[in-house]
Amino acid sequence: MHKEKLIAVNNHFQLQFEKAQDCFVLLYPEGMVQLNQSAGEIMNQCDGTKNFNQIVETLEKKFDMSGLEKDVEAFFTEAFERKWVNYVD
């Protein structure tokens, strides 16, 4: 994982909050992925202006918690494999 590179939602997906389902979802031409609360909060930070460390810092401040780095890294491992996110050049 390149922790210094900026991370964004892949252009093939659209992240939005679905009020009816009370969660974030990733929309793509073939369907939709419903995200749990943690995944939605992480993905919501992937706007192309923050790197991994900045995302972790933002989440730790937002939820008044520390030690989220391993959980966020585990999520990003899967998110990159599924091509939900990519690095900004």
Task: Provide the sign of the torsion angle of the four alpha carbons 54, 37, 64, 69, taken in this order.
Answer: negative
Task: Classify residue 2: in a domain, yes or no.
Answer: no
Task: Classify residue 70: in a domain, yes or no.
Answer: yes
Task: Classify residue 1: in a domain, yes or no.
Answer: no
What pLDDT, on a 0 to 100 scale, did the predictor assign at position 14? Answer: 98
What pLDDT, on a 0 to 100 scale, did the predictor assign at position 1? Answer: 87
What pLDDT, on a 0 to 100 scale, did the predictor assign at position 31? Answer: 96
Q: What is the pLDDT of residues 9-60, one digit of tens each?
A: 999 999 999 999 999 999 999 999 999 999 999 999 999 999 999 999 999 9
Task: Classify residue 89: in a domain, yes or no.
Answer: no
Total of domains in the chain: 1
Band of residue 89 on the pLDDT scale cut at 50, 70, 90: confident
**Residue 77 belongs to a domain with what CATH number?**
1.10.10.1150
- Provide the edge-to-edge strand list for the sheet that holds 23-28: 14-18, 23-28, 31-34
Answer yes or no: is pLDDT of 77 > 90.
yes
18: containing domain: 7-82
